[in-house]
Amino acid sequence: MSFPSPEHERLAAGLAGLTLGELRARSIVGSFRLPAQYPAAAARLEAGEPLQYVLGRAAFRRVEVAVGPGVLIPRPETEVVAGAAIAALSAWPDGDRLAVDLGTGSGAIAAALVDEVPAAQVVAVEVDGGALVWARRNLEPLGVRVVAGDVADLGGVGGIGDVDGIGDLDDVLGRVAVVVANPPYLPEGTALGPGVGEHEPAAALWGGGARGLDRPVQFLAAAARLLRPGGTVVLEHDASQGEALRALAGAGGAFRDIGTGIDLTGRDRYLTAVRN
């Protein structure tokens, strides 16, 4: 059986609950039949809707999360970021493996932490109401605490206890071993892939300011308040932002051992820093 595009083939496999290899093997022997919902789903795909939205799920490392309109689709580069957070959290003793996923979106990073780090305790924070629906759906069955609130308030000098919702994090201030985040970080003028601008939430994409650093800086400030001494922040960023974020992390004296991790294409992808 032939398909108009690789995306159509992945759609058929996903709807049938098969891997691509299984679909192709069944096609060869003539035992594969298109699922009844394929024509309607293919029409959505051809109209530009992302494959993950059409299927209602996205794979991320060893887990799968439910996704749909209103939430950012997890990307392969973020799997590398999650891997760095998993390694950092795993280095702590079982009783100290407390992590916070800031701007959790679908909850993919938080779900991966629970899946891959024994005895992990994970709190996920999200401000957007649309994304919160997906985060709660994916994370609450895993025992992850989902907190509604804005990272900008968490990092502010007024104190998170004064802000509705964010006060739910008072009990973990200064106690967290790992803070991980995939914040909005795209600089102005960044070219988006097909369907991204039309379907995925703009608030999860654009970092603010010409260099896209406004939101990442807020996330870094929030991490400084959450982390315990020796705790690690892992912060995803645009390939153009590594040097600037290293300088910002080192400027206030809150962090040491500041570095930049690369993604599978060799580009700067995430900041790592240890709390003083």
Q: Which amino acid is residue 231, in one-letter code?
A: G
Confidence label for 156 from pLDDT (cuts 50, 70 and 90) = low
Which tens digit of pLDDT belongs to each residue from 185-200?
999 999 998 889 899 9
Confidence label for 160 from pLDDT (cuts 50, 70 and 90) = very low
Domains in the chain, start-ordered, CATH in brackets?
A: 6-47 (no CATH), 70-275 (3.40.50.150)
Which residue spans within 61-130 are E strands per DSSP?
63-66, 98-102, 121-126
CA distances to 45, 125, 186, 244 from 111, in Å: 27, 13, 24, 30
Which tens digit of pLDDT belongs to each residue from 217-244?
999 999 999 999 999 999 999 999 999 9
Task: Average the pLDDT over 53-65 and give the result.
Answer: 97
Reported as type and span, the H/E element at residue 261 is strand 255-262
- Does the structure show a pLDDT above 60 at 206? yes
pLDDT for position 155: 63
**38-46 and 6-16 helices cross at what angle (nearest 10)?**
140
Q: Which amino acid is residue 261, in one-letter code?
A: G
Residue 167, SS3 per DSSP = helix
Q: How many helices (H) and strands (E) does the chain have?
A: 11, 9
- How far is 215 from 263, CA to CA, in rounded Å? 21
CA distances to 63, 82, 142, 148, 173 from 226, in Å: 26, 18, 22, 16, 4
Q: To the nearest whole number, what is the mean pLDDT of the chain?
A: 93
**For a pLDDT cut of 70, what percent of the chain falls above it?**
95
- Does the structure show a pLDDT above 70 at 165? no
Alpha helices in 140-235 (DSSP H): 151-154, 196-199, 214-226
**242-251 and 214-226 helices cross at what angle (nearest 10)?**
40
pLDDT for position 202: 95
Q: Is-contact 81 182, C-beta < 8 A?
A: yes
| Structure tokens, 190 | 């960044």
